[in-house]
């Protein structure tokens, strides 16, 4: 079984191009200005490849896949990530 992962967007970095919603419409919709609205749920295993592709294609690196279990295993890493 693979660890859970969630999509996160950096609203400051994102400029609302909407490419992520084109790649992963099952989890990402766009608001009226083109900014992503991401469902607050784990990415299903069947959509992991598409989620990774959406992250890879984000032109401003505003989208990421978080693996919370990895941070829990390394408390120092989690503190550095949140700063």
Say if residues 69 and 13 touch (Cβ distance below 8 Å).
Answer: no
> CATH number, domain at 19?
3.30.70.20
pTM confidence score: 0.77
16 within a domain of the structure (yes/no): yes
Q: What is the pLDDT of residue 83?
A: 44
Neighbours of 42 (CB within 10 A): 14
3-state helix, strand, coil in the chain (%, to 5): 40, 15, 45
Range of the domain at 23: 6-82
Query: Tokens representing 59?
Result: 């032109």
Rounded mean pLDDT, 48-55? 96
How many angstroms from the chain centroid is the CA of residue 61? 10
Give the count of domains, the chain.
Answer: 1
pLDDT tens per residue, range 29-48: 999 999 999 988 999 999 99
């Amino acid at each position: 079984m693979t660890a859970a992962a969630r999509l996160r967007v950096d609203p400051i970095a994102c400029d609302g191009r909407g490419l992520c919603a084109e790649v992963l419409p099952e989890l990402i919709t766009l608001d009226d200005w083109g900014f992503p609205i991401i469902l607050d749920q784990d990415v299903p295993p069947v959509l992991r490849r598409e989620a990774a592709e959406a992250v890879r294609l984000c032109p401003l690196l505003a989208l990421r896949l978080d693996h919370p279990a990895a941070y829990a295993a390394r408390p120092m890493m989690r503190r550095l990530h949140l700063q």
